[in-house]
Amino acid sequence: MKRLYFGTDGVRGPYGSANMNEDFAGRLGVATARWLQEKGAPPGSPVLIGRDTRRSGASLAQALADGLAEGGYAPHSLTVLPTPAVSHAVRSRGAVLGAVVTASHNPAADNGIKFFGANGIKLTDEEESRIEALLPAGRTTTAKYPMKEIDGAADYLKAMAAVLSGRLDGWKIVLDSANGATVQTSGKILRDLQAQIIAIGAEPDGLNINAGVGSEHPEKMAAAVKQHGARLGIAHDGDGDRCILCDELGVVLDGDEILTLLALHALQHGKLARNTLVVTVQSNLGVESAVKAAGGRVLRTPVGDRYVIERMLAEGAGLGGESSGHIICADVAPTGDGLVAALKVIGVMLATGQPLSVLRQGLVKFPQLSLALKVRTKKPLETLAHLPKAIGTLEGELGDRGRVLVRYSGTEAKLRLLVEGPSEAVVRAGLERLRVAASADLEVL
């Protein structure tokens, strides 16, 4: 379904651009209030708004609240809070909607807005399209709504404390909070479990979120693990719904490795719901191979953790996620949560007595390379002259020994190319062919 403003994870863009400024946020608030009215949400019902640490977050959150209040609802501020904690607050406090002002793993110059329904699950494509259709051309008031602040962190921390049984006495853990929304949450839980924390990216200033730290830049975490002799490293993105890990040898684990580790352990103990793991088309073929060999099945969805969640609900699955580090453990939360994922992996380490360097060996990846090309315009792929032919030829050559994935980013002006195959040489050559074809069709920046 075509949407003008919403992408794979909310509305996102450079702060100050046409679709990410206070005026747009206010109009989006009005449109969302109209949508809530259509759904029968009683006027005056609470809406909870959280944000990450970006400098632009407070004013955008206020503008969004003003629009929601203009439409007849009662916004409350959760201040700085991880995205999964906003989902939890919506469910625990009976709000009709939750909103997070965040651009996730993007640089500080960007910002965004995403919504959770009353069930704590992200809105569907259809719901987002309807909100877009209700956008007003302008605002009828510029009044500032005095939002009441709510402590959403306390409820979230209480829920997180119940995820892991046991203590982490003697454990050194490197924790990279990306100078983002998890600064006051993940470290608190791990310290309460008696772990010794080596903190990275824990001094947000409004401009340094994701800047050389976090899940997009795990090299500092990996170096710190080796330097301090830590048991593992944990890296979040700016809003805390992702988790990338590092084993005790300083080797980084992505979402595919985390998902496979958790799925194999659950299958071994008969605890993987419906014996099913849900991943996206981005995940490595090795995930399917490992899970099938252990007696499970793997289902794929389009890229985006909300599509994973939708499929999990439809299939009755309990575990799913993305290679980027969005991990959904449905027994705890109906959305990606980087802290939950880390605690679940630590639980497997405690249960097996095995280090991450051993546990990660359950996944043997197919050779895979990817490339992101910045493009001026996202022309429909099916209208291009060269790229579709190159894709078809390469897929025919690979057969069942690999796969090709070409898609536009849902949040950035980028064309993403991915090739898996029987050897790195084959993959590298195939990726170059796709790059050349794409460059012939599109204005690559």
In a domain, 419, yes or no: yes
CATH of the domain at 391: 3.30.310.50
Whether residue 382 sits in one domain with residue 351: no
Q: Give the model confidence (pLDDT) of 202-225 as tens digits.
A: 999 999 999 999 999 999 999 999
Both tokens assigned to 401 = 């020994």
Provide the residue type at 150 as one letter: I
Instruction: Return the ∠ at Cα 301 (arms to 156 and 383), rounded to 5°.
Output: 130
Domain with 292, as residue range(s), is 253-362
Same domain, 65 and 149: yes
Which position among 56, 77, 87, 104 bears the catalytic label? 104
Q: What's the mean per-residue pLDDT of the chain?
A: 96
Do 315 and 209 reside in the same domain of the chain?
A: no
pLDDT digits (tens, 9 = 90+) for 278-301: 999 989 999 999 999 999 999 999
Looking at the domain assignment, is residue 346 inside a domain? yes
Same domain, 279 and 409: no
pLDDT tens-digit series, residues 328-351: 999 999 999 999 999 999 999 999
Asked whether residue 184 is assigned to any structural domain, the reply reads: yes
Among candidate residues 232, 252, 272, the one where a domain is terminated: 252
Residues 145 and 11 in one domain: yes
- Whether 148 has a pLDDT exceeding 90, the answer reads yes
Work out the pLDDT band at 153, boundaries 50, 70, 90: very high
Q: Which two tokens stand for residue 227?
A: 């330097």
Q: How do residues 15-54 score in pLDDT, each as one tens digit? A: 999 999 999 999 999 999 999 999 999 999 999 999 999 9
Q: Which percentage of the chain shows pLDDT scores above 70? A: 100
Domain stops at, among 362, 392, 424:
362
Domain assignment present for residue 1? The answer is: no
Q: Look at residue 94 in the predicted model and tell me its pLDDT.
A: 96
Q: Which residues contact 429 (CB under 8 A, 6 or more apart)?
A: none
What CATH number corresponds to the domain at position 238? Answer: 3.40.120.10
pLDDT at 401: 87
Over residues 316-323, mean pLDDT: 97
Any domain includes 55: yes
End-to-end, the C-alpha distance of the chain in Å comes to: 27
Q: Are residues 12 and 116 in the same domain?
A: yes
- Of 362, 384, 399, the last residue of a domain is 362
Asked if residue 125 has pLDDT above 80, the reply is: yes
CB 113 within 8 A of CB 13: no
Verify whether residue 177 is a known catalytic residue: no
Count of domains for the chain: 4
Within this chain, do residues 244 and 259 fall inside the same structural domain, yes or no?
A: no
Same domain, 115 and 19: yes
12 and 148 both lie in a single domain: yes
Same domain, 315 and 391: no
Tell me, what's the pLDDT at 197? 98
Tabulate helix, strand, coil % of the chain (nearest 5): 40, 20, 40
Q: Are residues 358 and 373 in the same domain?
A: no
Q: Which of 362, 365, 345 is nearest to 232 (CA)?
A: 345
For residue range 176-202, what is the model confidence (pLDDT) as tens digits? 999 999 999 999 999 999 999 999 999
pLDDT at res. 2:
72
Digit-coded pLDDT (tens) for 357-414: 999 999 999 999 999 999 999 999 999 999 999 999 999 999 988 999 999 987 788 9
| Single-letter amino acid, residue 123 | L
129 in any annotated domain: yes
Taking alpha carbons only, the member of 422, 424, 326 closest to residue 370 is: 424
> What residues pair up with 148 in beta bridges, in sequence order?
76
| Predicted structure pTM score | 0.91
The edge-to-edge listing of strands for the beta sheet with 414-420 is 368-374, 414-420, 403-408
* Same-domain check for residues 146 and 10: yes
How far from chain centre, in Å, is Cα 244?
11
Where does the pLDDT of residue 1 fall: very low under 50, low under 70, confident under 90, or very high at 90 and above?
Answer: low
